[in-house]
Structure 1
């Protein structure tokens, strides 16, 4: 059985990031926008009994019921947003919900992860280590403050080659259950620069 027959990822999320930096150059946090794919959004509507008329739009009451559905994080889940400074992980605070919307049948949620320390040299990535969920960084990264963000796209050819090599060494019957943690290889890298 070819390694590529193992179906990963299962959920696709368009991701937008807004980095908040104080006037004095302190890293205050990241606002994260997740727009779920059509199929996953439809599954959520069905699971929660929403959009019963099937028009892809929700009433205000339905939006209130949906708000916060992805903020119930289990122990050990780090939010699939990671920040580093000089190669060391920066602790991001618990998510603070900032709303939910539905456009053309797709759910978008917004949350904020507070942080501390200097913004210069901060590196940010959005990924699921298990690659069950694929986060696609869309659009430029907005920076609220005196810094700028540059994006280095992931080397997708190298990432897929790595996956194939890892799965080739795994018996086909075990491939799904022991899928390697390769999500970071598929992540774009956002770097902050605050000089000048």
Structure 2
């Protein structure tokens, strides 16, 4: 049985994520290409909300794909795209998303976009995490992480036991009446950590 805190921290959307760290000829990061593969339930609900896939076969025609394309790129002010880069302890500023396509794969919506960095930084030692601070959406790096050039990535999975312990400690410290409107931002604790290492 899950504790009330663990249940409260359960995400509602699950996204299989792929990341490609893009470098220039000087070995600097210029941006990250991001693939989001939405879970089947969320994809189905999106089709229904938008009046798509009326034959319920999990496939869209070209007109429907065109209508759906970009549906997840209308970001509200302040939304950071659930992607966070860090170098030498400093947060790396990212520019707005550049859409790079959408497909439907086994009845799941898969979108690709590019996040440019505002100013290129050295790739060696770069830390990358994909997470929703509120943990409403869960990101899993199952579609792989890679870096271009003479760089490799090391992925350290999140310590889930520690993450759920943190959730319980934070929730039990809050008045129950505040939970719905002020759920603590615990998403980072559930995020895998990607570190880029380069040679040459």
Bin of the TM-score, shorter chain as denominator length:
over 0.9
Matched residue pairs, number? 196
Unaligned runs of 5+ in 2: none
Is structure 2 residue 198 aligned with structure 1 residue 190?
Answer: no
Unaligned runs of 5+ in 1: none
Question: Do structure 1's residue 178 and structure 2's residue 187 form an aligned pair?
Answer: no
User: How far, CA to CA, are the matches of 1:157 and 1:8 in structure 2?
Assistant: 14
The match for 1:156 is 160
Structure 1 range deviating more: 54-63 or 172-181: 172-181
- Report the TM-score, using the length of structure 1 for normalisation: 0.95
1:143 pairs with 2:132 = no
Is the CA contact 1:3–1:172 (under 8 Å) kept in the aligned structure 2? Answer: no
- Report the counterpart of residue 69 of structure 2 in structure 1: 67
Which of 26, 40, 43 matches 1:41? 43
1:114 matched residue in structure 2:
116
Give the CA deviation at 1:143: 1.6
For 1:13 and 1:88, how far apart are their aligned partners in 2? Answer: 27
Which shows bigger deviation, 176-185 or 163-172?
163-172
| In structure 1, distance between residues paired with 2:175 and 2:90 | 35
1:46-57 matches, within 5 Å, as 46-57=48-59
What is the distance in 2 between the residues matched to 1:140 and 1:53?
Answer: 32
> TM-score, normalization: structure 2?
0.93
Aligned to 1:102: 104
Q: Name segments (4+ residues, structure 1) moved above 6 Å.
A: none
Change in 2 beyond 3 A, CA 1:88/1:66: same
Q: Residues 23 and 146 of structure 1 are in contact (CA less than 8 Å); yes or no, is this contact kept in structure 2?
A: no
Cα root mean square deviation, aligned: 1.4
Shift in Å at residue 139 of structure 1? Answer: 4.2
